[in-house]
Amino acid sequence: MNAFEMFYLAKQLRKENFIVHTISYQSILKTPAANATILHQKILKLEVDNLHIVAHSLGGIVTAHLLAKFDDIPKGNIVMLGTPIQGSWFARKLQHIAIINKLLANSMKRGLSGKNIPQWNSSRSWGMIAGKVNFGLATIIGGLPREGDGTVMLEETLHDKITSHMTLPISHTRLLFSKEVAELTAYFLRKNSFNHCEKSQP
């Protein structure tokens, strides 16, 4: 995953007066746990007292590994966008295609497979924004079997430790290029909730 994919969201958050750092990670070559260790090293180099984390899709699972493994992460809130925190039905389906199975192999380990994803024991406020426009990559195999964003099913974004969960009529990729998502994200980082968010004045 390339940090450039977060360009629009980062730009919008900077307009909200956040200092933003975007980080690339290797989803093909490394497991979510390995990427979490690399992310940890980069975070320590920032030398900050407060740090919010905003993660899209698999990045949310990397974040779960990060918080489960390290206890020296600066305090702050978490927002995940379309993260299949329960694992990905779509990814498991793609495993039956040999070449794609090789590409997904590392991301499946304690990640997209849904098996052994770390328990969420963090006290941080955790927000999830999920899409419910069922049009996306999953159309190549006939679509998702239940409501979702075209790649991740809505039920896969649910977790009993989530502080606040928001659904929008938007697709998986559009979560990264939506002004409304950016506004909701900024609001949650400040207020620990999506409730009572006034879209025009986050």
Give the containing element (helix H, strand E) for 41.
helix 32-46
Q: What is the DSSP string of 6-35?
A: GHHHHHHHHHTT---------TTTS-HHHH
State both tokens at 1.
Answer: 């995953």
What is the rounded end-to-end Cα distance, in angstroms, of the chain? Answer: 28
Coil vs helix vs strand at 104: helix
80/185 Cα distance (integer angstroms): 9
158/128 Cα distance (integer angstroms): 8
State both tokens at 101.
Answer: 């199975």
183/198 Cα distance (integer angstroms): 9
State both tokens at 47.
Answer: 């030398």
**Per residue of the chain (202 residues), what is the pLDDT tens digit?**
678 889 999 999 999 999 999 999 999 999 999 999 999 999 999 999 999 999 999 999 999 999 999 999 999 999 999 999 999 999 999 988 888 889 999 999 999 999 999 999 999 999 999 999 988 888 888 899 999 999 999 999 999 999 999 999 999 999 999 999 999 999 999 999 998 665 433 3
pLDDT, residue 135, reads 84
pLDDT, residue 200, reads 34
**Is-above-0.85 flag for pTM?**
yes
DSSP state, residue 200: T
Q: Could you identify the residue written with the tokens 């938007």?
A: 170
Q: What is the DSSP string of 126-164?
A: EEEEEE----SGGGGGT--SSSBSSSSBGGGG--TT-SE
DSSP state, residue 5: G
Nearest-5° Cα angle at 103, 25 to 8? 40
